[in-house]
Amino acid sequence: MKSIIDRHMSRYRIAFILIFSFQFLFSQAESGTGIYRIVFPEDSQMPRMGVYKDDIKNILKKAKSLRFQLVFDQTGSMFSLVKDLQIDENDFGVKMATVIFGADKAYYTNIVEGYFIEEKQIFDKAFSIVKHIDKENWELTPEKKVINGHECYKATGKRTLTGKSFNKKTLDIVAWYCPEIPLKLGPFEAVGLPGLVVQLDLKGHSVLLDHMEWDKNISVENDISGEIVSEKEFDSIFKKMVKVRMPN
Amino acid sequence: MVAFVFFVGITNAKKGEQPNNLSFEEFTVCGDYATAIATFAQLAFEANYDVAWFNAYGECIEKYY
């Protein structure tokens, strides 16, 4: 009887120590860097690559070498391509992968004031689009799975994008957030959820947290400097700039 | 004649060889190339078609002309 009680007590002790350690960790270092990478699901159905399949395969290969950084502190985060990434920026595959997989964009999130800024490039000119973090953009579901040892929950959302003839399209996106990492942050626009977004599922690929480094000395600064415009203004500018350059 | 040169240009570009340096080809060959890449990027990943197209077009011009 005594041994059963002892066994239970030791389990409680371990659980208490684990919970305490976890809380201690976050109270000591609520800042750091998360590194994300692009993964392609093994069962994904790719469209036909056609005669340029070698170039397309090169783009996909280079996409796997891209790394994104989420630098965060208690106030928010800065998400962008890793600054000193060892890639050949003049390589065709790298250039195209950068554009196709959003590595030419940057996001500054201010979680305290409830907004994020998306920086987009058009023909080497940068624009900043300010958006409010809206919880209604996400639908939380009870579905969960373990990713890299973290229990994560599924949230579904929408991404608005511009189609071939400047038509607006919406894309279903899925964010896997982990409440055990209490940061309302994540890659790209996946912010405001009750836990760090460890995996963001987009069309044909996912952006997955590779590893995290905690560093209490990190503080987030807004590096975004492009001309501030609304999303509507950006769409109008984009349309004009493309039309001017598009051969007849 | 124009049609022949046009055909040779496209065929060479598809093979990855430098096509004859003809101004008429510039858009046609690289436009064809950019359309193929951008279409794939949009179908596979919902990438922004126009941005992908212009980048692929620019790369093609730089590579072949």
Is A123 an 8 Å CB contact of chain B?
yes
- Where are chain B's structural domains? 2-8+25-64
pLDDT over 50 at A18, yes or no: no
At B7, the pLDDT band (50, 70, 90 cuts) reads very low
pLDDT, chain A, mean: 86
pLDDT in tens, A115-139: 999 998 877 788 999 999 987 789 9
Is A243 an 8 Å CB contact of chain B?
no
Cβ neighbours of A46 in B, within 8 Å:
44
pTM here is 0.80
Query: ipTM of the assembly?
Result: 0.74
pLDDT in tens, A44-57: 778 888 788 888 99
Cβ neighbours of B63 in A, within 8 Å:
92
pLDDT in tens, A181-226: 999 999 999 999 999 999 999 999 999 999 999 999 999 989 898 8
pLDDT value of residue A162: 74
Closest-CA distance, B37 to chain A, in angstroms, reads 7
A171–B46: do the CB atoms touch at under 8 Å? Answer: yes
pLDDT in tens, A70-101: 999 999 999 999 988 888 888 889 999 999 99
Taking Cα atoms as reference points, which of B35, B12, B10, B38 lies closest to residue B25?
B10
Taking Cα atoms as reference points, which of A145, A144, A214 lies closest to residue A183?
A214
Taking Cα atoms as reference points, which of B61, B9, B60 lies closest to residue B37?
B60
CB contacts < 8 A (A, B): 71
DSSP for residue A103:
T
Closest-CA distance, A162 to chain B, in angstroms, reads 6
List, as one string, the DSSP characters of chain B. -HHHHHHHHHHHHHHTSPPP--HHHHHHHHHHHHHHHHHHHHHHH---HHHHHHHHHHHHHHHH-
pLDDT in tens, B9-40: 444 444 344 344 445 555 678 888 998 999 99
A95–B46: do the CB atoms touch at under 8 Å? Answer: no
pLDDT in tens, B47-63: 988 888 888 988 888 87
Q: Name every residue whose Cβ is closer than 8 Å to that of residue A6 and which is 6 or more positions away in sequence.
A: none
Q: Which residue has the higher pLDDT, A233 or A28?
A: A233
pLDDT value of residue A8: 55
Closest-CA distance, B35 to chain A, in angstroms, reads 11
At A232, the pLDDT band (50, 70, 90 cuts) reads confident
Is A5 an 8 Å CB contact of chain B?
no
Cβ neighbours of A248 in B, within 8 Å:
none
Token code pair at residue A145: 């799975």
* Whole-angstrom distance, CA of residue A108 vs CA of residue A8: 47
Q: Name every residue whose Cβ is closer than 8 Å to that of residue B65 and which is 6 or more positions away in sequence.
A: B21, B26, B30
Q: Which residue has the higher pLDDT, B65 or A13?
A: B65
* Whole-angstrom distance, CA of residue A27 vs CA of residue A101: 34
A95–B59: do the CB atoms touch at under 8 Å? Answer: yes
In terms of Cβ atoms closer than 10 Å to its own Cβ (0-12, 13-18, 19+), residue A29 is middle
pLDDT value of residue A145: 97
**Amino acid at the residue A157:** G
Sheet holding A115-122, edge to edge: A139-147, A150-162, A168-178, A196-202, A205-214, A32-39, A67-72, A76-81, A106-110, A115-122, A125-132, A227-229
* Whole-angstrom distance, CA of residue B16 vs CA of residue B21: 14
